[in-house]
Amino acid sequence: MASIIEGDSVLSIDVGSATTRAILFDVVDGRYRFIAIGQSLSTAHAPFNDISDGVGEAIDRLAEITGRKFIDEEQHLISSIQEDGSGVDAITATISAGATLRIVAAGLLSEVSLESAKNLAESTYGQVVESISLNDPRKEEEQIDAILKTKPDLIIIAGGTDEGASRSLKKIIEIIGLAIYLMPKDERPAILFAGNQQMAQEVHDTLEPLSSSLHITSNIRPSVTTEDLRPARTALAKAFVEIRKTQIPGIEALDMWAGGRMLPSVFAEGRIIHLLSKLYGAEKALLSVNLGASAATLSVGFGSHLQTKVYPHLGMGEDIAKLLNYTTPENIARWLSIDIPLQEISDYIYTKALYPNSIPATKEDLQIEQALGREALRIAAESTQKKLPDDVPALKKNLFPLFELILAGGSVISNAPSFGQSLLILLDALQPTGISTIILDKNNLLPALGATADVNSLLPVQALETGAFINLATVVSPVSSARYGTGILKATLRRADGSVSTEELKQGGFKLFPLRMGETADLNLQPLHRADIGRGAGKKVTTKVGGSALGIVLDGRGRPLDLTSDDVRRRELIKKWLWTLGG
């Protein structure tokens, strides 16, 4: 099979806040496959503050697993396959490690271009710490002081339709230019300009000499009613990597190994979802979620549309205590199947913030960790849902869309002791509706696959098809207003061997049809009492399904999920749900 690059093997390095991964892809029997992964603790943070040691250790572990040599005696990457089988043909790199970027967003109108600038900022590992616009009631000197106080890593400037008026935008550019001029040279931020293209040259002449790096891209608001973030996301990815090079030693060397193609991990994840959503078509949406140490990230793909949201305050690492700014220990405790005092939950959170690489040592710790994951992912999902376009199909306005495919990763999910625990975390937090296939990215390969698309477009598609991911379950989630205990779905599973299983799902119920990996079956679904599984109230659905780790899961617990306030009953229900999925 012809390859787009001269060689076949690809080594992908992913540098996270907690873990650094070295992942090898190669051709086996004419198709790209995931071969192996080597992992180490990340060394991006103190006391190392240099990613090199973590990268080297991850590659060493990959070499031990595969028996292949990737680094020579002089600690240089062997950049082509040698006669003895050592080396690799191409290397890619992704990164999510590092402190959350401090971003200033600037635009003309707060509800138009400034909102788009904020949407762009939310698609990477950053936080908008200040914003300025024409609506800003502060005096110019107050706006300048505000920018200086935030010490931004990046300033995003938007505003003005293409060929539109430029005087107002020029005023904002002058404010930003003066603020940067007043900063020490070694603390000046990067600039990303995504506004009226008639102003591009003036922006370059004014801000390029002042900024640490200047990135100019097409207008994210080409018209008042149109937002297009796609080209700006690419420019933002480049700006992110350039900023990280100045903050964390070792990144520049790794980017050189990767031929200057290093990407933010979330950008690479979004690329895969965008690719898959175009392959699947525009009938249903696709979703990827990653509950990592540095952030919770969600990407929704629908036809040619891609929306990526990053929530650094919902990461499971050293910033875990920030979760308490958005929820309470009581909300976290409602996901537990055992009684744990609220003070113990709070103590666990603050201990985790001090020791982000720690793993749960007891069953109580594990329950708290998974409850934190549920709550963080629930908050992220609700926030993402509110900003989705109206044309993404959903059964109710306040619910997530109908997802054909859900890809999920992150250590809390992928390192759960059982597949049933992994699935229940996702179902509780995301509350999907209709019929969805849920895939577990157990080795966190999605960023690597997105990065490899730069060097070989065949690799990510073929690797996805060859068992690199775990098919957790096909989940059927009816939306119904029936009373608790009322039958809402009759499901019949006809296997290839001719055996037939039938179940009636009741409102509030939770059932499982086992269907092993490699098996196929016909699934007939008849909603009752005007329940809806995606085709309309009471509309029957017949579909062919494949086997998975858990089989077919019928989730009739209600959307939105309503957890009873009776502590004892709620814990018993959670135990029952987990028992249904195998514990």
**For 229-238, what is each residue's pLDDT tens digit?**
999 999 999 9
Task: Return the C-alpha torsion angle 152, 154, 155, 158, nearest 10.
Answer: -150
User: Which residue range forms the structural domain that includes residue 363?
Assistant: 267-580
Dihedral angle sign, alpha carbons of residues 412, 415, 417, 419 = positive
Give 116-134 pLDDT, tens digit per residue: 999 999 999 999 999 999 9
Specify whether the CB–CB gap between 464 and 33 falls below 8 A.
no
Domain end marker among 79, 95, 111 = 95
Residue 256 lies in a domain: no
pLDDT of residue 2 exceeding 60, the answer is: no
Q: Do 395 and 311 share a structural domain?
A: yes
pLDDT at position 282 is 60
The winner for highest mean pLDDT among 249-253, 514-518, 561-565 is 249-253
3-state secondary structure of 409: strand
Band of residue 87 on the pLDDT scale cut at 50, 70, 90: confident
Asked which of 36-40, 159-163, 194-198 is least confident by mean pLDDT, the reply is 159-163
Q: Do 433 and 318 share a structural domain?
A: yes
Give 366-382 pLDDT, tens digit per residue: 999 999 999 999 999 99
Give 457-472 pLDDT, tens digit per residue: 888 888 887 778 999 9
Mean pLDDT of 181-204: 94
Mean pLDDT of 68-95: 85
Q: Do 572 and 491 share a structural domain?
A: yes
Residue 319 lies in a domain: yes
DSSP letter at 188 equals P
> CB count, 10 Å around CB of 457?
11
pLDDT of residue 167 exceeding 90, the answer is: no
Mean pLDDT of 550-579: 95
Q: Do 193 and 152 share a structural domain?
A: yes
pLDDT of residue 162 exceeding 90, the answer is: no
Burial class of 331 by CB neighbour count within 10 A (0 to 12, 13 to 18, 19+): middle
Q: Do 274 and 386 share a structural domain?
A: yes
Band of residue 526 on the pLDDT scale cut at 50, 70, 90: very high
Domain end marker among 95, 118, 145 = 95
Give 237-266 pLDDT, tens digit per residue: 999 999 999 999 999 999 999 999 999 999
CATH of the domain at 28: 3.10.20
Among left, alpha and beta (phi > 0; psi -120 to 50; other), residue 518 is left
CATH of the domain at 184: 3.40.50.360
Give 564-573 pLDDT, tens digit per residue: 999 999 999 9
Residue 133 lies in a domain: yes
Residue 181 lies in a domain: yes
Domain end marker among 68, 95, 122 = 95
Amino acid, res. 321: A
Residue 1 lies in a domain: no
Band of residue 73 on the pLDDT scale cut at 50, 70, 90: confident
The structure's pTM equals 0.93
Specify whether the CB–CB gap between 424 and 581 falls below 8 A.
yes
Give 7-60 pLDDT, tens digit per residue: 589 999 999 999 999 999 998 888 899 999 999 999 998 889 999 999 999 999
3-state secondary structure of 425: helix
> CB count, 10 Å around CB of 460?
25
Residue 236 lies in a domain: yes
pLDDT at position 76 is 81
Q: Do 29 and 167 share a structural domain?
A: no
Q: Do 20 and 48 share a structural domain?
A: yes
Query: Rounded CA gap, 119 and 116, in Å?
Result: 5
The winner for highest mean pLDDT among 63-77, 282-296, 335-349 is 335-349
Residue 258 lies in a domain: no
Number of domains making up the chain: 3
Specify whether the CB–CB gap between 395 and 284 falls below 8 A.
no
Residue 3 lies in a domain: no
Q: Do 441 and 393 share a structural domain?
A: yes
pLDDT of residue 503 exceeding 50, the answer is: yes
pLDDT of residue 1 exceeding 60, the answer is: no
Q: Do 237 and 134 share a structural domain?
A: yes
Residues 6+ apart with CB under 8 A from 355: none
Mean pLDDT of 138-155: 97
Q: Do 240 and 332 share a structural domain?
A: no
Burial class of 189 by CB neighbour count within 10 A (0 to 12, 13 to 18, 19+): buried
Mean pLDDT of 387-402: 86
Please give the helix or strand (H or E) that residue 468 lies within, else none.
none
Specify whether the CB–CB gap between 441 and 482 falls below 8 A.
no
Give percent of the chain above pLDDT 90: 80
Q: Do 234 and 373 share a structural domain?
A: no
Residues 6+ apart with CB under 8 A from 85: 68, 69
pLDDT of residue 3 exceeding 50, the answer is: no
Q: Do 136 and 89 share a structural domain?
A: no
Residue 309 backbone phi and psi in degrees, to 5: -130, 135
